[in-house]
C-alpha cells in the first residue's frame, strides 16, 4: 500500500479475523449492552444477533444469503496489527460471538473447530523470526481491564464482571450471546456449528485501510457525517482528535475519559449535556436540536476554538461536566449543598432540567450569588409550571437569561434578577393566583403536589420557629413520613358526610387544595375518614403550624409579639368544615403562595 493510498476490501468475518486488531486507548469504549440504572436498554447485541439469524434462517441446503453488517476503518501499525479507528462495537460483538460459540461447543463436550480457535487467537511470526501468540482483538483503553482477554481465554465464568462500565457492558454482551445460543439454537451442537459457518462465511463487512491515523479519522468523520451510526458526542471526540497532534493524544484521551465519567456519574444523556453546555456557553439559538449539534460545530469554530486548540476546548467541556454533576447532586461547583437546587428537583422531578442551562452559565458566581440565582430559578419555575407555560416559551426564556448571565458578576446579580426573572413571574401573577384558587389534588402530578403543600407548610414553620437542620430541608416535609391528608375524606364516613353537608363525596370538592394539609403519617393513620369535629384535636397534635392552626390558630399562640404568635395570627382557623370553608382556605393559600414564591405585582 503506497503512502497516499486508501484501500477498501469487501470481506467475510472469516477473512476479517485472519488479521489482528487493537482498539486504541483514545477510542470510544464498548457501549453495546449498556443498561441504565433501571435496567433498561442494552438491546443492540440482541438485535445484532437476531438480524444475522433472520438471514441465516433463510438458508437452504445448497445456498445462503449474505448479510452486510457495516464498515470499519483501520490503520496498519508497525507491528502489522491494525488500529481499529471506527467499527469497534460491531467488531467486538462479532469477536465475543465467536468466543461464546467456542465456549458453548466446549460445554456440550464437542470438538471445537481449529478454524474457530484461530479466529480468536493465533500465533504470528515477527520480523525477527520469533513466534508471538496474539488475540485477534485487543482493547487498549484502561476501563476494559482484562475482561476480553479472560473471555478469549475461555475464562468468562471466572472473570470479574462488576468493575467499570466497559467491563459490565462486555460481560453483558457475552452473556447475551450465550443466552441466544441457548434459547434460539437450543444448545444444539450441530445448529451452533452451522450458525458459526454462516457467521464467518456469509456475514460481510467492508474494511477501509488508510496509511495514517489522521486519514482514518477523516474517513471516520465522513462515514458518520450527520450522526449516522454515531451521535454528535462521538463525532465531536473524533473531530478533536483530528485537530490534535499525535503527541497530545494521551492528554486529550485523559480529558475525554474524565468527561465521560462525569456525565455517567451524573446519569445524564451525553447529548443533552452537550446541548445544554453549548446553549450556556456560546451564542446558540435555542432551536438547536441534538441532531444538529455536529453541524453546528462545523460552522462555529470561531466561537468554540475547538480546531485551533482542541485541548483547551475539551478542558472547558470537562469543567462544565464537573459542574453539571454537582448540580445533579444539589451542589454548587465547590460541592456546597444548595437548598433551592434540591427544592427544584422536588418540583421538577427527574426530567425537567432546562434550568441547568442557566446554572451552567452562572457557574462562575460566588457561593452566595449562586444560591440567590438558584432561589430565583426555583421561584420562577414553580410559577411557570403551575400556570402551564409551554416548553418552547420556557426554554426560550431560559436561553435568553443564560446568555446574559454568563457575563454578570456577583455584584450585578441582584439587579439582573430583579429585571429579568422577577418580571417573568410578575407577568403571570394573575394566572398563578387564579390557578391556585382552583387547583386540586388531581390537577398535579403527585410529586409536584407534595412539593406545593410541603413548601407552604415549611414556609410557615420557618417564619414561626426559625431555621433548623430539619426545617431547612424541604425533603423532610415531602418525605415518606408525612401524608397529604384530605380534611374531608375522599370516602367520608356517614357521620362525616352528614356533618359536612352538601358536596360530601364530590371529588371536585374534596380534592381542592384548600381541603389538603400535610400531616405526620403516624397521626394520619389514627383519624381515617371521620368527621372534622373528631379530627380537629388530632390536627392540633401536628408539629406543622399550618396544619395545627386549621382548627384553632389561637391555641398555637404563646404571647403577643413572638414569632410563633405572629405567624399563627395570620393563619385562618375553622370551627366547622364545609365547602365554603374549603374555598376560603384555598384563597388564603393562593395569596400566601404569591409571598412564598415572590411573585411581584408589577413587571
| Average confidence (pLDDT) over 221-232 | 57
561 pLDDT higher than 80: no
pLDDT band for position 522 (50/70/90)?
very high
The verdict on residue 184 lying in a domain is yes
CA distance 136 to 286: 47
| Average confidence (pLDDT) over 206-224 | 78
Q: What pLDDT, on a 0 to 100 scale, did the predictor assign at position 480?
A: 84
Q: For every residue of 375-430, which 3-state class applies, written as one string?
A: HHHHHHHHHHHHHCCCHHHHHHHHHHHHHHHCCCCHHHHHHHHHHHHHHHHHHCHH
Q: What pLDDT, on a 0 to 100 scale, did the predictor assign at position 127?
A: 65
> Rg for the chain (alpha carbons), in Å?
32
| Average confidence (pLDDT) over 291-301 | 88
pLDDT band for position 122 (50/70/90)?
very high
Q: CA nearest 159: which of 213, 99, 73? A: 99
CB count within 10 Å of CB 562 equals 12
Q: How far is CA 279 from CA 117, 263, 360, 395, in A?
A: 52, 17, 9, 10
The verdict on residue 359 lying in a domain is yes
Q: CA nearest 279: which of 320, 322, 232? A: 320
Min mean pLDDT across 13-17, 24-28, 473-477, 500-504 is at 24-28
Q: Are residues 31 and 147 in the same domain?
A: yes
Q: Are residues 11 and 119 in the same domain?
A: yes
The verdict on residue 124 lying in a domain is yes
CA distance 533 to 551: 9
CB count within 10 Å of CB 217 equals 22
CA distance 14 to 16: 5
Q: Are residues 426 and 459 in the same domain?
A: no
The verdict on residue 471 lying in a domain is yes
Q: Are residues 475 and 427 in the same domain?
A: no
Q: Are residues 212 and 310 in the same domain?
A: no
Q: What pLDDT, on a 0 to 100 scale, did the predictor assign at position 461?
A: 96
2 pLDDT higher than 50: no
The verdict on residue 572 lying in a domain is yes
580 pLDDT higher than 80: yes
CA distance 212 to 26: 16
99 pLDDT higher than 60: yes
| Average confidence (pLDDT) over 467-471 | 93
Q: CA nearest 427: which of 599, 231, 234, 216? A: 599
Q: What pLDDT, on a 0 to 100 scale, did the predictor assign at position 195?
A: 95
Average pLDDT over all residues of the chain:
90
The verdict on residue 238 lying in a domain is no
Q: Are residues 259 and 211 in the same domain?
A: no
Q: Are residues 412 and 313 in the same domain?
A: yes
91 alpha carbon, distance to own chain's centre: 28
Render pLDDT for 127-137 as a digit per residue (tens, 0 to 9). 677 788 899 99
Q: Cell match 457492558: residue?
A: 169
587 pLDDT higher than 60: yes
Q: Are residues 108 and 138 in the same domain?
A: yes
Q: Calculate what percentage of the chain has a pLDDT beyond 70.
A: 95
Q: What pLDDT, on a 0 to 100 scale, did the predictor assign at position 90?
A: 92
Q: Are residues 485 and 422 in the same domain?
A: no
Q: Is 72 within 8 Å of 206 (Cβ atoms)?
A: yes
| Average confidence (pLDDT) over 472-486 | 94
Q: Are residues 407 and 331 in the same domain?
A: yes
488 pLDDT higher than 90: yes
Q: Are residues 197 and 174 in the same domain?
A: yes
pTM above 0.75, yes or no: no
229 pLDDT higher than 50: no
| Average confidence (pLDDT) over 405-429 | 94
Q: What pLDDT, on a 0 to 100 scale, did the predictor assign at position 1?
A: 41
143 pLDDT higher than 80: no
Q: Is 56 within 8 Å of 49 (Cβ atoms)?
A: no
160 pLDDT higher than 90: no
Q: Which domain holds residue 337?
A: 245-436
The verdict on residue 601 lying in a domain is no
Phi, psi of 322 (to 5 degrees): -60, -45
Last residue of a domain, one of 414, 436, 458: 436
pLDDT band for position 162 (50/70/90)?
confident
Render pLDDT for 527-558 as a digit per residue (tens, 0 to 9). 989 999 999 999 999 999 999 999 998 877 76
Number of compact structural domains in the chain: 3
Render pLDDT for 369-415 as a digit per residue (tens, 0 to 9). 999 999 999 999 999 999 998 888 889 999 999 999 999 998 999 99
Q: How far is CA 3 from CA 8, 76, 222, 532, 589, in A?
A: 15, 12, 20, 90, 77
The verdict on residue 240 lying in a domain is no
73 pLDDT higher than 80: yes
Q: Are residues 62 and 202 in the same domain?
A: yes
Q: Is 166 within 8 Å of 141 (Cβ atoms)?
A: yes
Amino acid at each position: 500500500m503506497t503512502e497516499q493510498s486508501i484501500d477498501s476490501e469487501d470481506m467475510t468475518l472469516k477473512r476479517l479475523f485472519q488479521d489482528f486488531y487493537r482498539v486504541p486507548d483514545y477510542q470510544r469504549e464498548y457501549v453495546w449492552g449498556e443498561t441504565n440504572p433501571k435496567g433498561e436498554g442494552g438491546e443492540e447485541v440482541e438485535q445484532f444477533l437476531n438480524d444475522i439469524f433472520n438471514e441465516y434462517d433463510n438458508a437452504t441446503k445448497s445456498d445462503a444469503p449474505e448479510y452486510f453488517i457495516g464498515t470499519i476503518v483501520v490503520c496498519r501499525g508497525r507491528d502489522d496489527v491494525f488500529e481499529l479507528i471506527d467499527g469497534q462495537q460491531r467488531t467486538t460483538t462479532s469477536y465475543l460471538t465467536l468466543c461464546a460459540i467456542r465456549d458453548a461447543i466446549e460445554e456440550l463436550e464437542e470438538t471445537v473447530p481449529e478454524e474457530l480457535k484461530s479466529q480468536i487467537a493465533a500465533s504470528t511470526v515477527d520480523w525477527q523470526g520469533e513466534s508471538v501468540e496474539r488475540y485477534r482483538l485487543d482493547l487498549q483503553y484502561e476501563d476494559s481491564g482484562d475482561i476480553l482477554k479472560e473471555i478469549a481465554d475461555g475464562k468468562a465464568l471466572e472473570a470479574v464482571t462488576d468493575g467499570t462500565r466497559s467491563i459490565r457492558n462486555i460481560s453483558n454482551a457475552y452473556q447475551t450471546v450465550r443466552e441466544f445460543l441457548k434459547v434460539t439454537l437450543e444448545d444444539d451442537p450441530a445448529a451452533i456449528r452451522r450458525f458459526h459457518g454462516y457467521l464467518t462465511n456469509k456475514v460481510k463487512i467492508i474494511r477501509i485501510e488508510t496509511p495514517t491515523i489522521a486519514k482514518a479519522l477523516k474517513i471516520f468523520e465522513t462515514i458518520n457525517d450527520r450522526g449516522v451510526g454515531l451521535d454528535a458526542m462521538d463525532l465531536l471526540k473524533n473531530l478533536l482528535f483530528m485537530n490534535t497532534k499525535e503527541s497530545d493524544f494521551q492528554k486529550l484521551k485523559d480529558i475525554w475519559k474524565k468527561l465521560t465519567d462525569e456525565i455517567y456519574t451524573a446519569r445524564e444523556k451525553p447529548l443533552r449535556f452537550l446541548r445544554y453546555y453549548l446553549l450556556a456557553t456560546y451564542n446558540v439559538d435555542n432551536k438547536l436540536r441534538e441532531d444538529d449539534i455536529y453541524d453546528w460545530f462545523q460552522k462555529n469554530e470561531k466561537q468554540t476554538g475547538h480546531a485551533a486548540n482542541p485541548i483547551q476546548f475539551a478542558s472547558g467541556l470537562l469543567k462544565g461536566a464537573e459542574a453539571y454533576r454537582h448540580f445533579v447532586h444539589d451542589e454548587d461547583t465547590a460541592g456546597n449543598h444548595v437548598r433551592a437546587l434540591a427544592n427544584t428537583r422536588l418540583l421538577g422531578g427527574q426530567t425537567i432540567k432546562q434550568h441547568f442551562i442557566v446554572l451552567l452559565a452562572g457557574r462562575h458566581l460566588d457561593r452566595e450569588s449562586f444560591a440567590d440565582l438558584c432561589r430565583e430559578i426555583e421561584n420562577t419555575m414553580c410559577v411557570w409550571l403551575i400556570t402551564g407555560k409551554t416548553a418552547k416559551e420556557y426554554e426560550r426564556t431560559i436561553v435568553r437569561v443564560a446568555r446574559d448571565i454568563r457575563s454578570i458578576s456577583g455584584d450585578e446579580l441582584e439587579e439582573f434578577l430583579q429585571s429579568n426573572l422577577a418580571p417573568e413571574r410578575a407577568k403571570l401573577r394573575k394566572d398563578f393566583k387564579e390557578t391556585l384558587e382552583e387547583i386540586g389534588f388531581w390537577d398535579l402530578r403527585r410529586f409536584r403536589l407534595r412539593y406545593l403543600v410541603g413548601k407552604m407548610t415549611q414556609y410557615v414553620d420557618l417564619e414561626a420557629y426559625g431555621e433548623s437542620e430539619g426545617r431547612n430541608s424541604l425533603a423532610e416535609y415531602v418525605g415518606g413520613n408525612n401524608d397529604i391528608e384530605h380534611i374531608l375524606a375522599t370516602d367520608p364516613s356517614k357521620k362525616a358526610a352528614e356533618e359536612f353537608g352538601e358536596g360530601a363525596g364530590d371529588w371536585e370538592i374534596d380534592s381542592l387544595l384548600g381541603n389538603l394539609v400535610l400531616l405526620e403519617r403516624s397521626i394520619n393513620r389514627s383519624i381515617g375518614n371521620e368527621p372534622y369535629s373528631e379530627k380537629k384535636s388530632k390536627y392540633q397534635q401536628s408539629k406543622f403550624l399550618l396544619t395545627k392552626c386549621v382548627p384553632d390558630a389561637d391555641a398555637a399562640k404563646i404571647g403577643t409579639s413572638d414569632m410563633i404568635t405572629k405567624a399563627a395570627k395570620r393563619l385562618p382557623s375553622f370551627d366547622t368544615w364545609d365547602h365554603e370553608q374549603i374555598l376560603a382556605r384555598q384563597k388564603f393559600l393562593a395569596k400566601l403562595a404569591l409571598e412564598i414564591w415572590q411573585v411581584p405585582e408589577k413587571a
